[in-house]
């Protein structure tokens, strides 16, 4: 499935980064001039237009991550501890899991172990966008969502097919609360079909269920 392939790719990327820290540092050194060159410019001078665009794109990606951090996507949603009945209900359907903050937090913790937490973050950002009514705020949040989850430059890019990307690009000409509706549905479906079955068999879910069951028996 598309989600499994993406998860494996992320694992390989993280392993490669950890194994070759010296290579990563060398890329930023002054002696590695050739790595920054475009195919039409061998000198890497500051007047090279494509290098300038690349630097601007990298700076924009870094700025976007900082802005979103400052804006405050929480590490987890505030919610009371789930009850045994709620946790049992999560096994009945993915919809019931996603309806409660506690369910989303537990599922998000699992997604983090699979390097696919960006799917939940994107879904949550779309839900937040739908609550906005101010046009300028909508446009700004839509831009941030695009740069952080749709742009190929972003490390948190979600997996979308070309049709949905075309829809988003058209919608971004005049952003609204529903600019990412098709993309949000596709990611919701991906989490449902690909990640949810594994979550139900994960230690995160089983340990939580066992802990609540034991407390229920003791009470």
Question: What digits encode the pLDDT tens for the residues 69-116?
Answer: 334 344 667 878 999 999 999 999 999 999 999 999 999 999 999 999
Overall average pLDDT of the 207-212 stretch: 96
Burial class (CB in 10 A: 0-12, 13-18, 19+), 191: buried
Instruction: Measure the CA–CA gap between 87 and 90, rounded to whole angstroms.
Output: 5
Residue 44 has a pLDDT of: 40
The domain segmentation of the chain, as residue ranges, is 84-218
Residue 77 has a pLDDT of: 79
Q: With cut-offs at 50, 70 and 90, classify the pLDDT of residue 178.
A: very high
Instruction: Measure the CA–CA gap between 219 and 206, rounded to whole angstroms.
Output: 20
Total residues found in the chain within this entry: 219
Mean predicted lDDT score pLDDT of the chain: 79
Residue 183 confidence (pLDDT) above 50: yes
- Token digits for 179? 């600019």
Query: Is the CB of residue 205 less than 8 Å from the CB of residue 90?
Result: yes
* Percent of the chain clearing pLDDT 70 (strictly above): 65
Alpha helices in the chain (DSSP H): 2-19, 21-26, 49-71, 84-90, 94-99, 101-113, 117-130, 135-145, 162-171, 181-190, 196-200, 203-218
Residue 4 has a pLDDT of: 57
- All residues at 6 or more sequence positions from 127 whose CB lies less than 8 Å from its CB, including other chains: 184
The 10s digit of each residue's pLDDT in 31-49 is 444 444 444 333 444 444 4
Q: With cut-offs at 50, 70 and 90, classify the pLDDT of residue 216.
A: confident
Q: Which residue has the tokens 């409660």?
A: 100
Residue 141 confidence (pLDDT) above 50: yes
Residue 213 has a pLDDT of: 95
Residue 153 has a pLDDT of: 95
Q: With cut-offs at 50, 70 and 90, classify the pLDDT of residue 5.
A: low
84-218 fold: Regulator of G-protein Signalling 4; domain 2 (1.10.167)
- All residues at 6 or more sequence positions from 183 whose CB lies less than 8 Å from its CB, including other chains: 122, 126, 150, 158, 160, 164, 165, 167, 168
- pTM assigned to the model: 0.67
- All residues at 6 or more sequence positions from 56 whose CB lies less than 8 Å from its CB, including other chains: none
Residue 64 has a pLDDT of: 41
Residue 135 has a pLDDT of: 96
């Amino acid at each position: 499935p598309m989600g499994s392939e993406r998860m494996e790719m992320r694992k390989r990327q993280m392993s490669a980064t950890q194994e070759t820290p010296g290579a990563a540092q060398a890329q930023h050194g002054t002696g590695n001039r050739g790595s920054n060159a475009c195919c039409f410019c061998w000198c890497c001078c500051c007047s090279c237009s494509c290098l300038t665009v690349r630097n601007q794109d990298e700076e924009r990606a870094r700025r976007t991550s900082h802005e979103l951090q400052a804006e405050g996507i929480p590490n987890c949603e505030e919610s009371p501890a789930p009850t045994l009945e709620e946790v049992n209900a999560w096994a009945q359907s993915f919809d019931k899991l996603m309806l409660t903050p506690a369910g989303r937090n537990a599922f998000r913790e699992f997604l983090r172990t699979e390097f696919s937490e960006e799917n939940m973050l994107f879904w949550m950002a779309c839900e937040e966008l739908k609550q906005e009514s101010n046009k300028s705020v909508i446009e700004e949040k839509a831009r941030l969502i695009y740069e952080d989850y749709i742009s190929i430059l972003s490390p948190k890019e979600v997996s979308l097919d070309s049709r949905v990307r075309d829809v988003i690009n058209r919608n971004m000409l005049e952003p609204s609360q529903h600019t990412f509706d098709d993309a949000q549905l596709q990611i919701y479906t991906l989490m449902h079909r690909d990640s949810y079955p594994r979550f139900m068999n994960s230690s995160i879910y089983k340990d939580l269920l066992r802990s609540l069951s034991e407390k229920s028996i003791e009470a």
